[in-house]
Amino acid sequence: MQLAFCLYKYFPFGGLQRDFLRIALACQARGHGIRVYTLEWRGKRPAGFELVRVPARAWWNHSRYRKFSAWVQADLARRPVGRVIGFNKMPGLDIYYAADPCYEEMAHTLRNPLYRLSERYRHFAAWERAVFAPESRTEILMISGMQQPFFMRHYGTPAERFHPLPPGISPDRRAPPDAPAIRAAFRAEFGLGDDDLLLLQIGSGFKTKGLDRGIKALAALPDALRARTRLIALGDDDPRPFLRQARALGLGERVAILRGREDVPRFLLGGDLLIHPAYNENTGTVLLEALVAGLPVLATNVCGYANYIAEAGAGHLVATPFAQKALDTALAGLLADPEARARHAQSALAFAEQADLYSLHEKAADFILDYRCEPPKNV
């Protein structure tokens, strides 16, 4: 069967993008053809993929996305496929992989009411409705149950169209037998002594992930503790506002922001604490990547995967509504208590041995290939 996968942008270090690639490869491994429609592709093209770069251009992203959808639907009319799978919300999908939170909910709770008068709002609200409206025939693969009530409240989506998936952590994130040696080599490479502490913040979209909150919490540490602590952030985003913030707080030499990279497992093994004070987060895959590596986690409880951190006893969650003081206090407490961090690490590794944190991509491929899709309605 020929499958069409649609996503606006591919780059190697985004969580959505990594999930797309692993699901598509799982389908390909079972003998199915893969066609990918995208506006931008950064990185290697997997062997056997038909990569279609859609020639849609516009000044505004929402106008470009509208042209993208129209071009893809016209091409699919000429060259039909067995399934159309979307990783961004758009009309005409058989299956939508719900990596993003409910746009309508955010527009009502995080934006000024005047925002809902904008053309941008009208576009994204309409594209979300095309997926979740009761009359839509799009089936929805849910990677976090946290967002489902919002979609059902705003659109009346029938519950039977939601299909939950387990997490899908890559096995290479698990702590290997030689983890202590990898940790020692990493810390030597980055000039970290035995008494130094390394905070990690990992994920593209620094603003949404709360990098500003993490930098503030570092600045609020007691002097002696702050002098031993460094923060490294990894991700594909503009680092300049956050580097300015760090300099303004006197942390210029204690904060480094690096582009996304392939050796994230080394960082997870070399760090002392993952900090992830996100403003909103549908899942927070990096929380589970840290968990299976035995790295304690400090995160906000708005993350869709925060429940795994609580269940595993793998760290500390900052409650909603967020208070910077609560994050500051929790960070200082965890960094000052190596025994607590060791307990969290041991609990995390024990949990990783028995929980299903790895099968998302195979289960998603099962659904894509086994589900009998009805022809989608035009929206």
Q: What is the per-residue pLDDT for 374?
A: 61
Two structure tokens written together for 54: 């859609």
CA distance 202 to 179: 19
Q: What is the pLDDT of residue 245?
A: 98
DSSP string, 65-123: HHHHHHHHHHHHHHS--SEEEESS--TT-SEEEE-S--HHHHHHHTS-GGGGGSHHHHH
Domain range annotation of the chain: 2-166+359-370, 171-354
In angstroms, the CA 8 to CA 2 distance is 20
Q: In angstroms, what CA-CA distances link 165 with 145, 284, 328?
A: 9, 14, 34
Span 2-166+359-370 CATH architecture:
3-Layer(aba) Sandwich (3.40)
pLDDT score of 315: 98
How much is the pTM?
Answer: 0.85
**Fold of the CATH domain 171-354:** Rossmann fold (3.40.50)
Range scoring the smallest mean pLDDT among 32-36, 132-136, 258-262, 290-294: 258-262
pLDDT at 372 over 90: no
Reported as a single tens digit per residue, the pLDDT across 237-293 is 999 999 999 999 999 899 999 998 889 999 999 999 999 999 988 899 999 999 999
Half-sphere exposure of residue 73: CA atoms within 13 angstroms, side-chain side: 16
pLDDT at 242: 98
Contact yes or no for 235/203 (Cβ under 8 A) = yes
- Answer yes or no: are the C-beta atoms of 248 and 215 closer than 8 Å: no
Topology agreement, domain 2-166+359-370 and domain 171-354: yes
